[in-house]
Amino acid sequence: MIHDDIVKRAAPGSSILDLPAGNGLFGEHLRVLGYDVTCADLNEAYPEFVKVNMEEPLPFPSETFDVTVCMEGIEHVLRQRQLLSELVRVTKAGGLIYISTPNVSCLWSRIVLLMCGYFYQFKPSAQLIGDERSTFDKGHISPIDVYTLGYVMAARGAGLVFATADRVKKAVVVCPLAVVLYPFARWSAAHIHRRLHSRFFERKEAHPAYFNLRVFTGRSLIAAFRKTSHDLRGPAIRTDAAPLRCGSIDEPILRTSQ
C-alpha cells in the first residue's frame, strides 16, 4: 500500500529513506522504478545497508530525503519520540513521511486491552529486556495510537495527510462485542474530541481522518505526514498541509521535485 502510494505521489529520482529496511525488498522495488533509495538497518546479512540504530540520532544531515518510510519500526524502540523527531528532521520541507505500526486504535486491540490488560500484539511475556541503546530486536514494546502519533508528528512540524489501515482484522468482524461497541466507541471519541481544545488539529478536519472505519477495524495503522516546517523547536500549527483524507489514499497529495 505504501509502495503504490509513493509511486503515485513522488516523481522518479526522488530520494527515499527506508528504515528499517528488513530484507531490502521494499527499497529494491522502488529502486527498479528509478527512485534513489537508501536502505538503513542493523541487519548484518546486508552489508550494503547503512547501519542505523533507531534508538540513536539518525546519521543523516537534516532535510536529506524527499520521502521517509518507517514500516513496522517505531513499536520496536524505547525512544519512540526521538525516532519520530529524527524522521521529520531528515525529511525535506514539503516531503512525505510514512509510518506503519500495529494498530492499537483497532476495536479488537481495545477489547484485548480491556480483557487482558495489554494491547493486541504487545504481549508483555514476548518482550525482551534491554536498555535503550541495545541493538537487538526488543519486540513490540512501544504501542502508539493514531491520536498520539498525529500529535507528536504535528509537534515536530509534520501535518497529517491521511490515516488508514492495511486490512480488516477478522476478529473485529466475527466478534459480536466489537460490532456492538463500534458505534459507541465512535460516538465517544467524537464527543471527547469536540470538547477538548487542541492547538494542533482543526476539529472539522481532524475528525474524519482519525475516526474512520478503516482505523477502527484495521490490523496495521498506516499514516502519512507532510513536513510543513523547518523549525523543530516547537509545535507547528497545521496551516498549509494537504486536506486530510478519510481512510482513503486515492487522490494525489504531494509530488516531490528534485
> Which of 10-14, 192-196, 203-207 has maximum average pLDDT?
10-14
In angstroms, rounded to a whole number, what is the distance separating the alpha carbons of residues 103 and 216?
9
- The confidence score (pLDDT) of residue 216 equals 81
Q: Are 77 and 83 in contact (CB under 8 A)?
A: yes
Within 13 Å, how many C-alpha atoms sit on residue 103's CB side? 24
What is the per-residue pLDDT across 44-63, written as a single tens digit (0 to 9) for each? 889 999 999 999 999 999 99
Query: 219 pLDDT exceeds 70?
Result: yes
Higher pLDDT: 225 or 219? It is 225
> Which of 76-90, 117-131, 242-256 has maximum average pLDDT?
76-90
Residue 206: φ, ψ to 5°: -70, -35
Q: Are 76 and 138 in contact (CB under 8 A)?
A: yes
Domains of the chain: 2-246 (3.40.50.150)
Q: Strand order in 220-227's β-sheet?
A: 50-51, 36-41, 15-18, 65-71, 91-102, 220-227, 158-165, 245-246
What is the per-residue pLDDT across 147-170, written as a single tens digit (0 to 9) for each? 889 889 999 999 999 999 887 766
Shortest CA distance to 35 belongs to which of 6, 61, 56? 6
- The confidence score (pLDDT) of residue 195 equals 59
- The confidence score (pLDDT) of residue 104 equals 87
This prediction has a pTM of: 0.77
In angstroms, rounded to a whole number, what is the distance separating the alpha carbons of residues 97 and 137?
23
